[in-house]
Amino acid sequence: MFVFFTLLQLAVAAVLAYVRFEACDAMYDLTAVQIDGCDERIPCYVTIGQNVSITLYFHADYLYQNLDQDAWMDINDVVSPAEVSPEKCQTNYNCSAVSTMDTITSLTGVVTVPDDIPTSVRGFMHWLTESEGQPLLCFSVRVATQRIEQKRLRDLFNLYKYDTEEVPSSDNEKLVNP
């Protein structure tokens, strides 16, 4: 039962985590970016060849109907295009744009991390959403690439909480020095 609740807490924490990003000059005010498997820690680990769901939260006075989304990876100054789904979409048809009463809007897309980039290196993932050539949303986030085996090991390691304090807290000191 304890294991179930621990896994449930980890799943909820992963779902609610936002990444640190750098917004570009665009029409909409980007407020948060959520990338599956990433949190506020830098870098965000992305797995080569895997699909990654990305949700953007932003303020918009006007929501354009036709959206064109692009993503690319910049690793060691080598740019590799990433496949985005849906690449072109129309709101209220095949686009996952959701508007709320307080004008916070979200847009979700899926990026496929390219197979032709090196593993275990750091770089940037860039995202651009535009309509008729007008940049609406734009951001970059620091990423590190990994193979599926590395992801599995990282996931196992992250199931455990380690005390990384240089000076143990009083709770941990009792465990170390009973």
Residue 70 has pLDDT above 70, yes or no: yes
Q: What is the pTM of this model?
A: 0.75
Which of residues 3 and 174 earns the better pLDDT score? Answer: 174
Determine the Cα–Cα distance for residues 20 and 66; give it in Å rounded to an integer.
Answer: 27
CATH (domain of 55): 2.60.40.770
Whether 4 maps to a domain, the answer reads: no
According to the model, what pLDDT value does residue 101 have?
Answer: 58
Which of residues 46 and 86 earns the better pLDDT score? Answer: 46
User: CA separation (Å) from 116 to 49, 51, 140?
Assistant: 9, 15, 20
Whether 150 maps to a domain, the answer reads: yes
Q: Render pLDDT for 3-55 as a digit per residue (tens, 0 to 9).
A: 343 333 434 344 457 999 999 999 999 999 999 989 888 999 999 999 999 99
Domain hosting 60: range is 16-158
